[in-house]
Structure 1
């Protein structure tokens, strides 16, 4: 996201490359259209190093000190060594399903995208966000650049990126509620029962505000005015907040998002549930694989509860993708519901490795193939624009 200043001197926030005076039709190849600029995202080196060191320190601490206290690496190694080749094949199949489903979310938000284009946008963003310290901003810029190269108008691209991010947040807040219910059914909700009502309250509040903004232009304007009133006193003390206008981006957000969500909310929901559901499927087949398919094993409801509650750690922005924090909570909840320490630790390690490493590889492939093709696409569109202006 980039801060821009309007002619009146008021600073507002909007996506890079997005201009209020550009009609969507221009991006579809009109005679007067200009090729979209590649978005530029700059990382503060010192901030990136500091955040990267903090995240790495937390990950090392969790895997070195915390997990050995609630799980067992030695037992996990024994459990992994006892896995059958059939269990490995089943895990591999679920990973392929997960990777295939993961790319559907951008098609759900922007139906003009083809399947591989949607995969490229989502997988490349995952690789950057999880492989670069403080890479979230760069990931957003790359998403915008990819969508621009696929001739998606700037306003539509911004709406699609926002919708995908929102639906991911909704699931991260909603799944722990169902997870607490699942753990309550199996009698293992001690210590996490508070997450249910707290998560439900936050989710209801977020959805209520979101729906209110979508339904009412006047309410969006009032919320923006209230936000400006709240920020104005801070602007006297914090220079970066001085003159920032919250109302303009809220109203703009409502205008861009309303039509997309009215048409695509169901597809967005199904796609996001498919992503999270296939992640759980990897965990469960890994758990059953290390326990042995011919053994009673962990109750599926308990396994779902542990997985669903641990999703809340995705909201803690210390490590990428909840690496370490989510794992520790998941292992603890599995063990508290009766799973053997070694099996719980082994299943988590298999789940993390198989849902993380292959996706990084796919994301790198997506980035490389897109980068080679996008350079030619932007160059061709620039030449076409120069020719239309009589300069070719």
Structure 2
């Protein structure tokens, strides 16, 4: 009885703690969520043609992740059939939706995405390696963005109606990211120098971190990414840059729809912080924390509170809320296909 009780504790204890943390997080951010929901009728004031623009931009951002997964899995597809685009899209959309509605966030979504890919015939070890590499390269791009905005912040504000330059800024940033990404994947010495520089800075606030330990850790992560995308580094860097830049462009478009005048470099900084908040697994997909944080950051960079709230709502509608039903449909379609194509256990038992 004690063993059974201990098994139940081990099985459900962690889940109970996760649900409790999620419940507390949702309670804390409930006012911001209600405030955001209360602004939904204001979306009727936005020109309708902005909505398909946002959907297309987010669609390209998701497609870049499918491309990354294809590159990583194709690398090891010599002995098995490579996954089709439909399989990759279904797995990513379903995993993304799960990360937004279930406790655990991105970790839960990755488990579901891996399950779909493994069920489709991909080796478990290859899938785990590919998803790890995708997470590392996309996170690396996100961490690189604040550094790239420093020159724009120092130069000063550009001419009037500067937000319209945001899409051009995203294109320029993508080119720079691709160049730096390829340099990191093909030139280990470059990674060592960056790691040592970061280590010196981190050592100031955390004495246990040294330049050498930081460089070694960064090189280890670089080697994992390089192995996953070997021979296709240009394509991998381009896909990772496209994933972030199309998502950032969607935020710019959401603000441009409200005729907001603000520097795109400052919007980029707000975007990076908001994406960092989404990684904290207190609430699924950073629900509430991202919304409140992004709204506050947009106000901080000079946008009116009303425009910041509506802009955040418009961006989150395309990047957070719309992918949930799309992912649910993808998962449902996968379950139906699996039920039709996989023989039942009864049939298997009756087979002579």
TM-score range, shorter chain: 0.5 to 0.7
2:54 to 85, 91, 107: 91
Does 2:179 correspond to 1:209?
no
Q: How much has 1:271 moved relative to structure 2? A: 2.1
Label 1:359 to 1:213 Cα distance change in 2 as closer, same or farther (>3 A): closer
Looking at structure 2, the residues matched to 81 and 330 of structure 1 have their Cα atoms a distance apart, in angstroms, of: 21
Counterpart of 1:299 in structure 2 is: 263
Q: Is the contact between residue 59 and residue 319 of structure 1 (CA under 8 Å) also seen in structure 2?
A: no
Label 1:173 to 1:348 Cα distance change in 2 as closer, same or farther (>3 A): same
TM-score by length of 1: 0.61
2:247 to 274, 279, 302: 279
Q: Write out aligned runs for 1:346-357 (5 A).
A: 346-357=310-321
Looking at structure 1, the residues matched to 123 and 347 of structure 2 have their Cα atoms a distance apart, in angstroms, of: 19
Q: Write out aligned runs for 1:162-201 (5 A).
A: 162-179=132-149, 182-186=152-156
2:128 to 158, 168, 187: 158
Counterpart of 1:223 in structure 2 is: none
Q: Write out aligned runs for 1:209-228 (5 A).
A: 209-212=217-220
Q: How much has 1:334 moved relative to structure 2? A: 2.3
Q: Write out aligned runs for 1:14-53 (5 A).
A: 44-53=14-23
Looking at structure 1, the residues matched to 326 and 343 of structure 2 have their Cα atoms a distance apart, in angstroms, of: 26
Looking at structure 2, the residues matched to 380 and 308 of structure 1 have their Cα atoms a distance apart, in angstroms, of: 47
Does 2:259 correspond to 1:263?
no
- Bigger Rg over Cα: 1
SS at match of 1:113: coil
- Unpaired runs of 5+ residues, structure 1, are 1-41, 188-196, 216-253
Report how many aligned residue pairs link the two structures: 287
Counterpart of 2:206 in structure 1 is: none
Does 2:329 correspond to 1:362?
no
Looking at structure 2, the residues matched to 358 and 199 of structure 1 have their Cα atoms a distance apart, in angstroms, of: 42
Q: Which has the higher helix share?
A: 2
2:294 to 321, 330, 333: 330
- Unpaired runs of 5+ residues, structure 2, are 1-10, 75-81, 158-197, 203-208
Q: Residues 197-227 of structure 1, C-alpha deviation per residue, up to 9 Å, x if partnerless? A: 799859x976741424776xxxxxxxxxxxx
Label 1:159 to 1:373 Cα distance change in 2 as closer, same or farther (>3 A): same
